């Protein structure tokens, strides 16, 4: 009886603490209204974003000026204006690289790699990509992942205490099971949800800024041609290309309506 209580008590107290921590650090994601856990202040998160941004730009080949830079900054400005973001200090830069990538760090620090331009093909495609990345920062997905990982570490500590009297091989098995459960049951599904949320928010931002949202599914068809099928969805941090294309089709009527209402006179 004592042994069972020794095992269960740390897990019980962790569960109580985890519930308290989650509900005491919740806020709503702009646009979607989803409640999520964030335990960094916006200023703390922006400071981390600025530090990382400077480090990345210092080691990459930043394109100083030109048509591509002007295009990226114009698209970024238009999306930022309609994103209802907090007081971000926006920066938009272009990095010369073969990577088909882009990112937006907390605080509005955006970079587009030239390697993604053949995939985006046009301003509307680029707006879909930039809207998605900007949405990650506005939704504070990075801070949410940090908070989730903190809870996972506390849970692992509680599990280690609970199984402290077990033999070594049993401990290894339990911890391995905990790690797999956290990875495939919590972290990866949340990451895919973040990507889908950023897809939706970015689509709406692009439509608000009068870009053509119908470019979104075309973009992911082209992305699939470049990157291939990819891993099974349940093992990935991102939804599959087919899932993203299907979701865009579901959201498209709303996006087209927004674009029509905001941009018909232009």
**What residue has token string 């309609």?**
82
Q: State the burial class of residue 4 (Cβ atoms within 10 Å of its Cβ: 0-12, 13-18, 19+).
A: exposed
Task: Name the pairing type of β-strands 102-105 and 109-113.
Answer: antiparallel
Determine which one of 133, 144, 197, 215 is catalytic. Answer: 133
- The secondary structure element, H or E, covering residue 7 is helix 2-24
Give the 3-state secondary structure percentages of the chain, helix then strand then coil, rounded to 5. 70, 10, 25
The two structure tokens encoding residue 141: 């997905």
254 is catalytic: no
**What residue has token string 């689509």?**
203
CA distance 34 to 58: 36
The residues annotated as belonging to the active site are: 133
């Amino acid at each position: 009886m004592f042994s069972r209580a020794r095992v269960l008590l740390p897990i019980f107290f962790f569960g109580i603490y985890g519930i308290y921590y989650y509900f005491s650090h919740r806020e709503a994601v702009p646009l979607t209204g989803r409640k999520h856990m964030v335990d960094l202040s916006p200023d703390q998160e922006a400071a981390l974003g600025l530090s990382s941004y400077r480090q990345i730009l210092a080691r990459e080949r930043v394109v100083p000026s030109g048509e591509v830079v002007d295009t990226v900054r114009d698209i970024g400005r238009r999306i930022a204006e309609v994103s209802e973001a907090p007081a971000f200090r926006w920066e938009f830069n272009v990095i010369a690289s073969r990577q088909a990538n882009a990112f937006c760090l907390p605080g509005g620090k955006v970079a587009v790699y030239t390697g993604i331009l053949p995939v985006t093909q046009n301003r509307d495609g680029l707006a879909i990509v930039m809207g998605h990345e900007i949405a990650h920062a506005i939704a504070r997905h990075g801070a949410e992942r940090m908070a989730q990982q903190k809870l996972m570490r506390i849970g692992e500590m509680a599990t280690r205490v609970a199984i402290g009297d077990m033999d070594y091989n049993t401990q290894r098995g339990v911890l391995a099971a905990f790690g797999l459960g956290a990875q495939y049951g919590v972290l990866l599904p949340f990451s895919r949800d973040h990507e889908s949320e950023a897809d939706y928010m970015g689509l709406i931002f692009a439509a608000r800024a009068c870009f053509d949202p119908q470019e979104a599914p075309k973009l992911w068809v082209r992305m699939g041609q470049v990157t291939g099928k990819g891993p099974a969805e349940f093992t990935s941090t991102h939804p599959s290309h087919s899932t993203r294309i299907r979701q865009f089709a579901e959201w498209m009527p709303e996006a087209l309506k927004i674009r029509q209402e905001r941009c018909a006179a232009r």
